[in-house]
Amino acid sequence: MADAGGPAAGGAPVVAVDCNGADLGPGEVAAGAALAAQQGARVLLFGPARELGPACDGVTIVDAPVSIAKASDPARAVRAEPDASIVRAARAVADGEADALVCAGGTGAALAAGLFNVRRSAGVFRPALALPLPVPRGTVTLLDVGANTEARREHLVQFAFMGAALARVVLGVAEPRVGLLSNGEEQARGNSVVLETHGELAERVGEDGFFSFVGNVEGGDLLSGEVDVVVTDGFTGNVALKVMEGTSQAVIEAIRDAAATSRRAGAGGLLLRPALGSFRDAIDPERQGGAYLLGLRRLFVVPHGRFGRRGFAEAILRARRGASEDLVGRTHAALAEAGALHERPASATTASLPAP
Amino acid sequence: MADAGGPAAGGAPVVAVDCNGADLGPGEVAAGAALAAQQGARVLLFGPARELGPACDGVTIVDAPVSIAKASDPARAVRAEPDASIVRAARAVADGEADALVCAGGTGAALAAGLFNVRRSAGVFRPALALPLPVPRGTVTLLDVGANTEARREHLVQFAFMGAALARVVLGVAEPRVGLLSNGEEQARGNSVVLETHGELAERVGEDGFFSFVGNVEGGDLLSGEVDVVVTDGFTGNVALKVMEGTSQAVIEAIRDAAATSRRAGAGGLLLRPALGSFRDAIDPERQGGAYLLGLRRLFVVPHGRFGRRGFAEAILRARRGASEDLVGRTHAALAEAGALHERPASATTASLPAP
């Protein structure tokens, strides 16, 4: 298969990393790369060389000081700035010098550079942004969280396979349970796109399928731990994600405020601090490496801009796993087997990448 | 105006109450009616008379034992069971014997009985379900939370006025700030319906408008306290609501679990109990009376089935306030002034109600 992922130059996979755009500066991303290299990762680092510190074993530095991480129109910036670090990193992936990409500069730049330089995987309609959410009883991967504000049935069907592949290959879930986000669990609930998607998923996913389709799930199921992947359009996914973040923060603050108002409760708040801390650790987003841009010919991982070196290291290690375990090829095979690929020949809509 | 709300028979408003469907039984709703009557409410109670206890001052009991609260298809049940308590209560409103309705039997039955017996307010496209959410820094009214799984621009524009009217008239917000739920605060963010709605609201709501339009808001703004009304379609609204409930519960449970695992934190958890309790009180949904079905010719209030008597009493008092302050008429006037009413003559789509 021409667009299957795999180790560049036949060896261990190489991860291209765009260092521009991190809140703590490019040096923090470089520090994350050094941590990942200590665990055997091979990294190609793009960013302002003088801010990246000395290279270390496994890390190659490419001086690419031009940043478009703050561009208001990433699609235009990607075309206008061929020397931008994200564009050079994406080209390295397209040219086979690297097998996956980690972008500290945000999803807009990653998506634009990916579509323009690496292109969609054959038969995939639209890339989707998948975010593994650490919840008290496990991890739930929500997609799409913002790449597509509108999605048709055939898009959501593909998202289900893409999310299941991520859960299996990169997150280590043996038999992913996939749900469709709706306004009720009954099959008859949903807007028209959800109703159509439900019908098609129920039909295409057999008993021994690539994942198990659990049907409709509600907003609260994002937290129940009873499902591994939740599929929705990028508008609803973004709203759900922001409500979750906002509620979590508001509840923690409200409990802290309530504790501060009484001496007895105040002492309780002090004593509870370690419990709050271990809860924070359990839901720490850095443990999951960030968001995953799926549906391109290579895996892109987009850590949150506020991550520290540990989060960037995790993103690099996850990207490496996605490449070495052939996430793209396995997604494609599952989509093909289910008959859920785009029917037009790939050459009509996407340029081909050289086989690795 | 033929469909303006107002006191039945010229006196203080009468609230029709359907008692069937409450988790704690019809008697609990009747107890709530008695509490409301102590504060001067006049109530017409529909339900199984032998379960409602003795009538008291201000409360008239109508024996209506037939319940469709658990019907799987409320629209069909409303047509098939003319003696059902919700149908009889809605007819009392339609006939001018009562001015507003409280339904313990759920939103499906209330919506079906409202559309069939009371009908839409003139010029309103679709009723919407509005839920005032108690959040740490105030109350945010979210609509639609489930009456319409799909909504067009003209529907969402009307929802903004309907929600603002509820906030002003029933919830006592002097100058409601209304936001449009989207996947980003910038005006350019949103799906196509949100983009169109944003443009039309910005145009129709002037400087001294019925409310102030704050533009797009994100999921997290449901909890920020910086907006009073959040407008969205019933699919997204339901998802947002369920995510909020699920997250709130999961965070509280996780903190409690974490506290239980260490002796020091366990003691903290005990001491923190009063703080958790006062937080619970602050976000207690019974304080807001339940959900509000807007866009009919009379106000319908739908308390949650699990409410106790205090919640039902609050629902009745809020319904009375909506009637005495002419919520329906003021919504209609604001929609008319903004040019946002349905253009077809009301007689073509809705039957007329007798003027009260």
Please tell me the predicted confidence (pLDDT) of residue A347: 46
pLDDT in tens, B103-114: 999 899 999 999
Does B180 score more than 90 pLDDT? yes
How far, in Å, CA of A78 to CA of A66, rounded? Answer: 11
Higher confidence at residue A275 or residue B82? B82
The candidate with the shortest Cα–Cα distance to A241, out of A230, A228, A256, is A230
Whether residue B281 lies within 8 A of chain A, CB to CB, comes out as no
Show me where the domains of chain B are located.
Answer: 1-124+295-356, 132-285
Check A242 against B219: CB less than 8 A apart: yes
Check B146 against A183: CB less than 8 A apart: yes
pLDDT in tens, B49-80: 999 988 889 999 999 999 999 898 999 999 99
pLDDT in tens, B118-177: 999 999 999 999 999 988 778 999 999 989 999 999 999 999 999 999 999 999 999 999
Query: In the A/B pair of chains, how many CB contacts fall below 8 A?
Result: 210
Residues of B with Cβ-Cβ distance to A276 under 8 angstroms: 255, 258
Bridge partners (DSSP) of residue A217 are: A181
For residues A108 and A100, the answer to whether their CB atoms sit within 8 Å is no
Whether residue A66 lies within 8 A of chain B, CB to CB, comes out as no
Q: What superfamily does domain B132-285 belong to in CATH?
A: Isopropylmalate Dehydrogenase (3.40.718.10)
Record: fold of A1-124+295-356: Rossmann fold (3.40.50)
Check A219 against B235: CB less than 8 A apart: no
How far, in Å, CA of A205 to CA of A176, rounded? Answer: 12
Which tokens sit at A283?
A: 């839901």
How far, in Å, CA of A104 to CA of A32, rounded? Answer: 11
pLDDT, averaged across chain B: 88
Check A247 against B249: CB less than 8 A apart: no
Q: What superfamily does domain A126-284 belong to in CATH?
A: Isopropylmalate Dehydrogenase (3.40.718.10)
Among the partner residues A224, A251, A272, nearest to B252 by beta-carbon distance: A251
Check A222 against B243: CB less than 8 A apart: yes
How far, in Å, CA of A28 to CA of A20, rounded? Answer: 10
pLDDT in tens, A202-222: 998 876 789 999 999 999 999
Check B239 against A234: CB less than 8 A apart: no
Among the partner residues A192, A264, A265, nearest to B150 by beta-carbon distance: A192
High-pLDDT (> 90) share of chain A, %:
71
High-pLDDT (> 70) share of chain B, %:
85
pLDDT, averaged across chain A: 88
| A279: three-class secondary structure by DSSP | helix
> CA end-to-end span of chain B, whole Å?
10
pLDDT in tens, A97-141: 999 999 999 899 999 999 999 999 999 999 999 999 988 778 999
Whether residue A146 lies within 8 A of chain B, CB to CB, comes out as yes
Which tokens sit at B123?
A: 């010029």
Q: Find the residue in B nearest to A245 (Cα).
A: B220
Burial class for B81, CB neighbours closer than 10 Å (0-12, 13-18, 19+): middle
Helix ranges, A263-326 (H): 263-282, 309-324
Residue with tokens 């995987």: A121
Q: Identify the band that residue A278 occupies on the pLDDT scale cut at 50, 70 and 90.
A: low
What pairing do the DSSP bridges indicate for beta strands A291-294 and A128-135? antiparallel
| A173: three-class secondary structure by DSSP | coil
Check B251 against A253: CB less than 8 A apart: no
Q: Identify the band that residue B276 occupies on the pLDDT scale cut at 50, 70 and 90.
A: low
Bridge partners (DSSP) of residue B230 are: B142, B179
What is the identity of the amino acid at B259?
A
How far, in Å, CA of B235 to CA of A193, rounded? Answer: 11
Residue with tokens 């999951």: A288
Burial A43-77 (b: 16+ CB within 10 A, else e): bbbbbbbeebbebeebbbbbebebbbbebeebeeb
Check B239 against A236: CB less than 8 A apart: yes
Complex prediction ipTM: 0.88
Is there a shared CATH topology between the A1-124+295-356 domain and the A126-284 domain? no
Whether residue B246 lies within 8 A of chain A, CB to CB, comes out as yes
| B193: three-class secondary structure by DSSP | helix
- Mean pLDDT across B184-211: 90
For residues B149 and A183, the answer to whether their CB atoms sit within 8 Å is yes
